[in-house]
Structure 1
Amino acid sequence: MAALRKWLLTGLLVVVPGVITVWVLGWIIGTLDQTLQILPESWQPDRVLGYHVPGFGVVLTLAILLLVGGIASNFVGRKLVSWGDALVSRIPVVRSIYSSVKQVSDTLFSESGNAFRTAVMVRWPHSGMWTIGFVTGAPGGELAAHLAEVGAQEEFVSVYVPTTPNPTGGYLVMVRKSDCVELNMSVDAALKYIVSMGVVAPAEQRPSISKN
């Protein structure tokens, strides 16, 4: 029985990552293939070839993104994007959704953005525990004013603390910068450590933690 249990666990360790990878890739490709519906029916690959070939939607999506990016990178394109933003900002309800999504996307994908650029360790959820978070910026406006009152003019940073094994959910905390321990590891390595629930230890050397 011990040998059978060992073989079963070994089989799971070999098969599960591959199955999950194939499933995720299949879901992504299937979702992107839906973009083919924007083409005229006579141009759709399934109709031209006579059978379905998965992946054409990925190519079409990449082509659209490259085309839009190329147009938006020049002077005329930037003007068009600016006019489009101004038009959407005049539509009730839509403007609040669009502006929120745009702010998040600009922060995450812009080359000048600072989201998820630094992995840090913070005390969470209380002073006796540590967890990994990502610096997303600095508090501003009314938040900065209140933090200045309670923090005696200390510098605060906004830190996103993800949950495990699903890092898309988490908490936004504002902590003193001096209470953060900056890690000598990439964001990818830190995310891998979080998703694996601590099983896959980062290869990079991290700074030692001083006891306060």
Structure 2
Amino acid sequence: MIRKYLVAGLFTLLPLVVTVWILKGIFTALVGIFRGPLTWLAHAIQLPDPPTWGLALFSALATGLLLLLVGALVGNFVGRQLLDWLDELMMHVPVVKTIYGATRQLMGAIQSGQGGSFKEVVLVEWPHPGSFTLGFVAHRDCSWAVAGGESMVAVYVPTAPNPTSGYVVMIETTKVRPVDLSADQALTWAVSGGVVVPARAPRGTGRVPEQP
């Protein structure tokens, strides 16, 4: 009976603990970004060091204002020219351009719906023959990397419980089966470690349908 209650308590509190852990990470990151400048400013005007809650509040407000400012700049000609100049500058910095360029292309694909954009869920045989998992079509036509790659698709296979890390594999189209699931359902399944089963059962035809 005690063991039953312990297990029930664990699974009841675990989602709350994970949520608090993620929020704590965000809180710590925000405070770390602005701690140095705010502490320097406080010393410059002869004020005591700002408290942690003050740093967190200012960091959250500053981040929100920065996002609003960038969004407003994108909406006018002068702002777009400035952002284009900054974009070109970043693409000429060694090492930085690799990370920045890949991230920019990923965000562009998600916004424009090009190349699959992780919206199409498929069933792939991974990581070895006889075992299967869900993945997302990232791009079609892998001829740039493999001879005869016109008949292959690049599939992103997320890891559990953190879907932001994973593997990108190139697979023959005939070995990839489309699944009647939304991207949200597939991500929920991955984050839950396979515990949360989508309401609709997957069905595949053995081929990935071409995008119109």
- Whether these two folds match at TM > 0.5 is yes
RMSD over aligned Cα, in angstroms?
3.2
1:196 aligns with 2:192: yes
Going from structure 1 to structure 2, the CA distance change for 1:207 and 1:201 (only over 3 Å counts) comes to: closer
CA contact (8 A) 1:165 1:194 kept: yes
From 120, 133, 136, give the equivalent of 1:134: 136
Q: How many residues align?
A: 200
Going from structure 1 to structure 2, the CA distance change for 1:112 and 1:127 (only over 3 Å counts) comes to: same
From 37, 61, 64, give the equivalent of 2:63: 61
Please list every run of 5 or more consecutive structure 2 residues that lacks an aligned counterpart in the other structure.
207-212
Going from structure 1 to structure 2, the CA distance change for 1:107 and 1:47 (only over 3 Å counts) comes to: farther
Please list every run of 5 or more consecutive structure 1 residues that lacks an aligned counterpart in the other structure.
none
> 2:28 matched to which residue of 1?
30
> 1:52 matched to which residue of 2?
53
> 1:123 matched to which residue of 2?
125
- Residue 32 of structure 1 and its aligned partner are, at CA, apart by 2.0
> 2:209 matched to which residue of 1?
none
Identity of aligned residues (%): 37
Partner amino acid, structure 1, of 2:23: L
CA contact (8 A) 1:120 1:132 kept: yes
- Which deviates more from structure 2 when the two are superposed, residues 189-198 or residues 160-169? 160-169
Deviations 1:122-147 (A, max 9, x none): 12234422210011112455326x13
CA contact (8 A) 2:118 2:138 kept: yes
Partner amino acid, structure 2, of 1:61: T
CA contact (8 A) 1:35 1:61 kept: no
Deviations 1:28-62 (A, max 9, x none): 123123344456835xxx97997725444223212
Secondary structure at the residue paired with 1:52?
helix
CA contact (8 A) 1:115 1:136 kept: yes
Aligned partners of 2:96 and 2:164: how far apart in 1? 24
CA contact (8 A) 1:41 1:47 kept: no
Aligned partners of 2:104 and 2:7: how far apart in 1? 45
> 1:41 matched to which residue of 2?
41
With normalisation by structure 2, the TM-score equals 0.77
CA contact (8 A) 2:154 2:168 kept: yes
